Chain A
């Protein structure tokens, strides 16, 4: 079985400050890891993903995340928050063996940007 834990259902940061959204996972096989963003009344949009190779992955809108196997973590960061970053963020995991296509999501973190 696989699962995702997102610490902090709500995070508030000031505009221009560092954004850090935490994600820990458990998986019985090497995982593929994803971060999605959801704006109100919209579907989920992929920010970035880790499959293999470099453990630091860069995504859209200046976000990046680092896969740390020893810590079973995949935290999302952005050096300087922008008002447009206010949204719900979901971490997700998928088994890496072929044919296991389903994503298992965390419960989400709502990011608020303080002007």
Chain B
């Protein structure tokens, strides 16, 4: 079946612009995660949803970052007033349920470049 999809795959934004990144999880997956991967680094956790509830947003780096999942399926990560340090690959992952028995399936990512 279809995996996790993300759009756009590439986004170039001028500093100060707002951007919205979309994640379509695997159908029926309850848990959804956002990670940020800077160049040459491992992914870093941003936020986590269980259905529509945002249970952990401890990794969001500033109040310019906002994520939502209003109907418990598609999620959007919004970054306001983008800065150069926001340049990174943003990865979305979904899993069927909570718990380590359930694998997190990752999408291909959105590469954001802020100029």
Q: Is B91 an interface residue (CB 8 A)?
A: yes
Q: B33's contact among A90, A102, A106, by CB below 8 Å, is which?
A: A102
* Cβ proximity bits B18-33 to A, threshold 8 Å, 1 near / 0 not: 0000000000000101
Alpha-carbon gap, A103 to B106, bound state (A): 12
Binary per-residue interface labels of chain A (47-88) against chain B in the complex, 1 for a CB within 8 Å, 0 otherwise: 001010000000000000000000000000000000000000
Contact B45 A44 (CB under 8 A): no
Q: How many residues of A are in contact with the other chain, CB < 8 A?
A: 26
Nearest B residue (CB) for A49: B100
Contact: B107 with A43, CB < 8 Å? yes
CB contacts (< 8 Å) of A43 on chain B: these are 3-4, 91, 93, 105-109
Residue A99 at the B interface, CB < 8 A?
yes
Of A41, A46, A102, A106, the residue contacting B59 (CB under 8 A) is: A102
Q: Which residues of B contact A (CB under 8 A)?
A: 3-4, 31, 33, 35, 40-45, 48, 55-56, 59, 91, 93, 95, 98-101, 103-109
Known: A41-B108, A101-B48, A103-B43. 5 other contacts (CB 8 A): A4-B42, A43-B108, A92-B42, A102-B59, A105-B42
